[in-house]
Amino acid sequence: MKLIRFGEPGKEIPGILMEDGTRLDVSAFVEDYDEAFFADGGLAELKRWLQGNAAAAPRIEHTVRLGSPIARPSKIVCIGLNFRDHARESKMEIPVEPVIFFKASTSLVGPNDDLIIPKNARKVDWEVELAVVMGKRCVYIEPERALDYVAGYALHNDYSEREFQLERAGQWVKGKSADTFAPLGPFVATTDEIPDTGHLGMWLKVNGAFRQRSSTSEMIFDVPALVSYVSQFMTLLPGDVISTGTPAGVGLGMKPPQYLKAGDVVELGIDQLGESRQKVVAWQPATAETVSGRPAK
Ligand code: ZN
């Protein structure tokens, strides 16, 4: 199944993207794709419900905005320096253990929402990434069992402000957490749709020019290893996101470095996980109010 959420920001309701591109409204059966949905076996029940009810479910127009395909999770955990080609580009050592950092869950937005350059930001950069969405609560799991706890996968752009991240002291989280810095989707593909995450092509363009072109086969630590590793340090809840790192081709690695400016257009995709597109806009006090601080549903 491919899970989508659609509607106005903060008022999204759940849907399903069918193989033929049809979008179904499933809000008659599911309240939201949130922690309770995944924890209570919602995926299996939804699959059963669709068999009898898909034909009669309301269709959603393609002009309707897509939101993040999951409700705001308890946490977004990111992996740094997890691609061999990116480590080479950054002239960094291959990490002995995965590098972990957080991204504020308020940075989550829809796949085609505008990217807002944060207040006082000058070095906004892109990172196409494979995101893992957890399906069950877990802690201290072995790699061999890790995928049993995963609900599915999604396309993610781990936007980063390099000055905030690297030049403002302390942890990377400062450069990773601004509003709109985590466009997710267009959909979450459940694990049965992608049995092998080890050979997925991934790409990103800025203003039509390729910047990143790689594959998950460049990953240093694979998805089961990462899920297991993160669970050694924290409990993962249903709906939590683990973003698995970016390949070569970020703006920071260009000579000279190149960063995004208002008016730029960023497009990205991963095999079997669709494509997304963000227009870059300048920060304004009014836009901050409309994007952040929305009450959780
Ligand atoms: Zn990243």
Q: Is the pLDDT of residue 289 over 60?
A: no
CATH number for 167: 3.90.850.10
Per DSSP, helices labelled H in 54-132 are: 84-89
Within-domain flag for 135: yes
Within-domain flag for 40: no
Query: Which pLDDT value is given to residue 296?
Result: 46
CA–centroid distance, 275 to ligand 1, in Å, is: 17
Within-domain flag for 143: yes
Within-domain flag for 287: yes
Q: What is the pLDDT of residues 134-154, one digit of tens each?
A: 999 999 999 999 999 999 999
Q: What is the pLDDT of residues 234-282, one digit of tens each?
A: 999 999 999 999 999 999 999 999 999 999 999 999 999 999 999 999 9
CA–centroid distance, 27 to ligand 1, in Å, is: 32
**Total number of residues shown for the chain:** 297
CB burial class (10 A; 0-12, 13-18, 19+) of residue 55? Answer: exposed
CA–centroid distance, 157 to ligand 1, in Å, is: 8
* Structure tokens given for 81: 């320096």
* Structure tokens given for 109: 């937005």
CA–centroid distance, 38 to ligand 1, in Å, is: 25
CA–centroid distance, 150 to ligand 1, in Å, is: 20
CA–centroid distance, 244 to ligand 1, in Å, is: 7
Out of 85-89, 129-133, 172-176, pick the least confident: 85-89
CA–centroid distance, 278 to ligand 1, in Å, is: 17
CA–centroid distance, 132 to ligand 1, in Å, is: 13
CA–centroid distance, 41 to ligand 1, in Å, is: 30
Q: Is the pLDDT of residue 288 over 90?
A: no
CA–centroid distance, 82 to ligand 1, in Å, is: 9
Mean of pLDDT over the chain: 95
Helix (H, G, I), strand (E, B) or coil at 252: helix
Instruction: Give the C-alpha separation, 197 to 147, whole Å.
Output: 11
CB contact set of 34 (below 8 Å; sequence gap of 6+): 70, 71, 239, 297
CA–centroid distance, 111 to ligand 1, in Å, is: 16
CB contact set of 81 (below 8 Å; sequence gap of 6+): 87, 90, 92, 95, 99, 220, 245
CA–centroid distance, 288 to ligand 1, in Å, is: 23
Q: Is the pLDDT of residue 291 over 70?
A: no
Number of CB atoms found within 10 A of residue 31's CB: 13
CA–centroid distance, 107 to ligand 1, in Å, is: 13
Within-domain flag for 17: no
Within-domain flag for 1: no
Q: What is the pLDDT of residues 188-240, one digit of tens each?
A: 999 999 999 999 999 999 999 999 999 999 999 999 999 999 999 999 999 99
Query: Which pLDDT value is given to residue 90?
Result: 75
- Per-residue pLDDT band for 297 (boundaries 50, 70, 90) equals very low
CA–centroid distance, 48 to ligand 1, in Å, is: 36
Q: What is the pLDDT of residues 75-108, one digit of tens each?
A: 999 999 999 998 888 777 888 999 999 999 999 9
Residues with CB under 5 A from ligand 1 (ion): 127, 158, 246
Query: Which pLDDT value is given to residue 287?
Result: 54
Q: Is the pLDDT of residue 113 over 90?
A: yes
Out of 24-28, 107-111, 169-173, pick the least confident: 169-173
Residue 96's alpha-carbon distances to 125, 221, 269, in angstroms, are: 25, 10, 29
Instruction: Give the C-alpha separation, 297 to 116, whole Å.
Output: 23
CA–centroid distance, 245 to ligand 1, in Å, is: 5
| Total count of domains within the chain | 1
Within-domain flag for 129: yes
Within-domain flag for 60: no
Query: Which pLDDT value is given to residue 106?
Result: 97
Query: Which pLDDT value is given to residue 118?
Result: 97
CA–centroid distance, 134 to ligand 1, in Å, is: 18
Q: What is the pLDDT of residues 3-24, one digit of tens each?
A: 999 999 999 999 999 999 999 9
Instruction: Give the C-alpha separation, 175 to 167, whole Å.
Output: 10
Provide the domain limits for residue 177: 71-292
CA–centroid distance, 151 to ligand 1, in Å, is: 21
